[in-house]
Structure 1
């Protein structure tokens, strides 16, 4: 592969804002972590509130100098100088879903600052079911965020099905909150 092709592939991944499986973050000191979080108004929040805040933030208000990636067990902030790693609650994983009709992107670990889905600010009906127990974990009518995603805190070590309905169209896909599960679900096409 030529250097130009490698550079183009790296740029494409950066522009989609989504991380590939296996990408692991570096760590930094507590003082530099506090400085990075304070610079973005996040220092007073725990990891769960940071995720909820950033995912629901208007796209035009999102920081352009910060990557915030959600893994199954941690939240990773990265800027030009450092990475900050915060643990998620031990019993929960955040799963962000971008239902679509015609356009999607590949994603594995959700980026709270750069991932964009097709259906922004749209009313949807969501049902999430645990495949082992048959228990309905989520059943609600809600609206996608400004970034085209909707996010849910789900029990860790769970697999199941997500079903979404929007304007007479329905789609379904599988999910997993195990250690090797995706936090960014972009394969739910509604037909």
Structure 2
């Protein structure tokens, strides 16, 4: 087991030892809206700092939602609509965002440690300073995305499309890059980014 794998496994183990209760899925309110720990699940909801750990948000429409600083550890966001959502500083450790649609979403300084972003659409998304250690971005589409100062260590980027992506100051180490493309991407001051892949 290499150091990167051991670090990712340790982070996942520690995230599961939290002393707080996992997200409590309340019954829908009288209007039929799903409410989780006081956060109504609908487009443009305002729930900064919400506790949505382990929440089932699969196929939910959260377009334009304000979830800055929310705890979404191990949340199920498969096929969710996160277009234009604000998740700056959110904790998405081990969350499942497979096939989610998040164009123009904000994930500045968010944690995606060990998260599944397979086939996620992140066009024009802002992932500045995001930690994607051990995450899977296989088949992800990141056209025109910002990953300035992002951390991609031990990240699976197989067949991901980084078209005109800003990777300035990012750290890319031990990533799986089979069939990954980076046309017209900016690698200035990037540590470990592939060279000659313009």
Check whether TM > 0.5: no
Q: Hey, which of these two has a bigger chunk of helix by percent?
A: 1
Query: How does the TM-score come out when normalised to structure 2?
Result: 0.28
Q: Hey, which of these two has a bigger chunk of strand by percent?
A: 1
Select the structure with the greater relative contact order (CA < 8 A; seq sep ≥ 6): 1
